[in-house]
Amino acid sequence: MKIGFDGKRAVANMTGLGNYSRLALESLADALRHDKLMVYTPAMRDNPRLERLLHTYNVEFRLPSGKGLLRKGSLWRTWGISRDLKADGIGLFHGLSNELPLSIRHTGIPSVVTIHDVIYRRLPYCYKPVDRLLYDFKYGHSCRNADRIIAISERTKHDIMEFYGIPEDKIDVAYQGCDPQFRIQLPDHAIEAVRKKYLLPDRYLLQVGTIERRKNLELSVRALPGLPEDITLVAVGRDNNYLDHVRGIAEALGVETRLRVLEGVPFKDLPALNQGAEAVLYPSRYEGFGIPVLEGMESMRPVVAATGSCLEEAGGKAAYYVDPDDPGEMTDILRSIISGTDSGLAERILEGKIQASRFSNDNMARDILRTYRRVL
Per-residue 3-state assignment (H helix, E strand, C coil) for the chain:
CEEEEECHHHHHCCCHHHHHHHHHHHHHHHHCCCCEEEEECCCCCCCHHHHHHHCCCCEEEECCCCCCHHHCHHHHHHHHHHHHHHHCCCCEEEECCCCCCCCHHHHCCCEEEEECCCHHHHCHHHCCHHHHHHHHHHHHHHHHHCCEEEECCHHHHHHHHHHHCCCHHHEEECCCCCCHHHHCCCCHHHHHHHHHHCCCCCCEEEEECCECHHHCHHHHHHHHHHCCCCCEEEEECCECCCHHHHHHHHHHHCCHHHEEEECCCCHHHHHHHHHCCCEEEECCCCCCCCHHHHHHHHCCCCEEEECCCCHHHHHCCCCEEECCCCHHHHHHHHHHHHHCCCCCHHHHHHHHHHHHHCCCHHHHHHHHHHHHHHHC
Q: What angle do CA 61, 238, 209 make, to 5 degrees?
A: 85
Fold of 2-177+360-375: Rossmann fold (3.40.50)
Residue type, 157: K
CATH class of 180-357: alpha beta
Tell me what the mean pLDDT of segment 134-163 comes to: 97
Task: Kindly report, residue by residue over 78-132, the tens digit of the pLDDT.
Answer: 888 999 999 999 999 999 999 999 999 999 999 999 999 999 999 999 999 999 9
Tell me what the mean pLDDT of segment 26-39 comes to: 97
pLDDT confidence tier of residue 165, bands split at 50, 70 and 90: very high
Tell me what the mean pLDDT of segment 200-207 comes to: 97
Q: What angle do CA 55, 57, 59 make, to 5 degrees?
A: 85
How many CA atoms within 13 Å lie on the side-chain side of 38? 19
Tell me what the mean pLDDT of segment 305-319 comes to: 95
Q: What angle do CA 272, 274, 280 make, to 5 degrees?
A: 170
Tell me what the mean pLDDT of segment 218-247 comes to: 97
Which residues make up the CATH 3.40.50.2000 domain(s) of the chain? Answer: 2-177+360-375, 180-357
pLDDT confidence tier of residue 238, bands split at 50, 70 and 90: very high
The Cα 41–Cα 43 span in angstroms is 5
pTM of the shown model: 0.94
Does residue 72 surpass a pLDDT of 90? no
